[in-house]
Chain A
């Protein structure tokens, strides 16, 4: 198992939002600020890591014919456990993240990773895949949330101290003082616009690096011939 490739896939090459185009519902719904994106991303990463490891551990026991209901029950159970545990023992954090946790159950990326990776791979690789896919999702949500927040309200990471503690209040920036706000970006259509433009940007970067690699290969071939 190539751990480097798994990490690269999760963070960039097969990014949940920008390449697989999965989990768009939570990606669009909560990313009105970068902080919200970060919260949703971290909560999802935790669940994805656990669900991938659990399903990989049980993969020999699960019949292919009934795997989907089994995955769904396992994921829903995990999310509920996380929800109850946070509520009971990390109540302050729950008050901030609680809104997002229930949304994780319907995140199809988690079922998608269980189906396409964890059910076929060993525990360690699956756990890493869960972690990296989760972090890739988190980065995507921060990018969408950041773009919407900067254009929509002129701030970045507003209220981050509520999520991360007051030590992180340095993250909170007001980029455009006295900004009246651009409501479109905060409203749901802004989510679609941000995802669309970021998708174009990612495709352009990918194409450029593919072209570079192609050119490098060509010139090597020419050099070898000469």
Chain B
């Protein structure tokens, strides 16, 4: 049996069949696993989203299901998803989801903005930046992301909305400039979009019931 197999292994047909079989098996396994895990991954990410959305808003400032009260805004960078925080049906603040391209792919972040255009908080949801260098954008690894709290499009002035290396006021990390630059740029564009769409966002009639 073993001898037969050894002889068979050297034939071209066997090798083609082997490669095909392995690829087929791998695809089957992966599609199965993907089906199996999709719902759980989506649920886990939705939980993360609700938790992070709540983090960028003051406690008790809303009483609706944030993750479901959404709106899509058009921006030059593509569509931007906005979640509206309501207290007794009235929109008090919005949370914008931005995905600037960092050093190693998109950085998913959320930013809470109050009715006056002031940043309530910023959190990074998902990123693939270099561990040990640029992962200080996570709250568990650094305080940097808090430096945006209370900032708006006028404070600092538009020309100062950049990392220090580019002449702005925001710190970059040693060894990682691209990540902070991407985040600062995205927040600035987000605030500009917010200012442009302000009236539509805070319009009382549209959107779900409180």
Contacts and interface: CB of A to CB of B under 8 A. Distances in A.
Nearest to A70: B22
Q: How large is the interface on B (under 10, 10 to 19, 20 to 34, 35 or more residues)?
A: 20 to 34
Contact of B132 (A32, A69, A85): A32
B15 A65 contact: yes
A85 B26 CA distance: 15
Interface in A134-179: 159, 162
Given A32-B132, A36-B132, A63-B9, A85 B30 contact: no
B131 A36 contact: yes
Contacts, number: 85
A65 B6 CA distance: 12
Interface stretch (A74-82, A116-124, A125-133, A200-208): A74-82
A74 B10 CA distance: 21
Given A64-B9, A88-B44, A81 B23 contact: no
Q: How large is the interface on A (under 10, 10 to 19, 20 to 34, 35 or more residues)?
A: 35 or more
Contact of B30 (A63, A69, A77, A162): A77
A165 to B, nearest CB: 14
B26 A74 contact: yes
A66 B15 contact: yes
Contact of B19 (A30, A36, A70, A77): A70
A46 to B, nearest CB: 16
A25 interface: no
Contacts of B47: 91
Interface in B16-59: 18-19, 22-23, 26, 29-30, 33-34, 36-37, 40-41, 44, 47-48
Contacts of B41: 84, 87-88
B133 interface: yes
A88, A99, A187 interface centre (most CB from chain B within 10 Å): A88
Contacts of B143: none
Contacts of B14: 63
A73 B18 contact: no
B128 A81 contact: no
A99 B44 contact: no
B9, B44, B47, B131 interface centre (most CB from chain A within 10 Å): B131
Task: Give the interface SS of chain A, mostly helix, strand, loop or mixed.
Answer: helix
B61 interface: no
Contacts of B196: none
B10 A63 contact: yes
A89 B48 CA distance: 14
Given A77-B30, A81-B33, A61 B130 contact: no
A41 to B, nearest CB: 13
Contacts of A66: 15, 18-19
B15 A30 contact: no
A62 B75 CA distance: 53
A129 B140 CA distance: 36
Given A32-B131, A81-B33, A63 B174 contact: no
A100 interface: yes
A99 B37 contact: no
B174 A60 contact: no
Given A32-B132, A70-B19, A81-B30, A159 B141 contact: yes
Given A74-B26, A99-B128, A89 B40 contact: yes
Interface of A: 29-33, 36, 60-66, 69-70, 73-74, 76-77, 80-81, 84-85, 87-89, 91, 99-100, 102, 159, 162, 183, 186-188
Given A32-B131, A61-B5, 17 more contacts: A30-B132, A31-B132, A32-B133, A61-B9, A62-B9, A63-B9, A63-B18, A64-B9, A66-B15, A66-B18, A87-B37, A99-B128, A99-B135, A186-B132, A186-B175, A187-B133, A187-B175
Interface of B: 2, 5, 9-10, 14-15, 18-19, 22-23, 26, 29-30, 33-34, 36-37, 40-41, 44, 47-48, 128, 130-133, 135, 140-141, 174-175
9 contacts: A32-B131, A32-B132, A36-B132, A64-B9, A66-B18, A69-B19, A70-B22, A81-B33, A85-B33
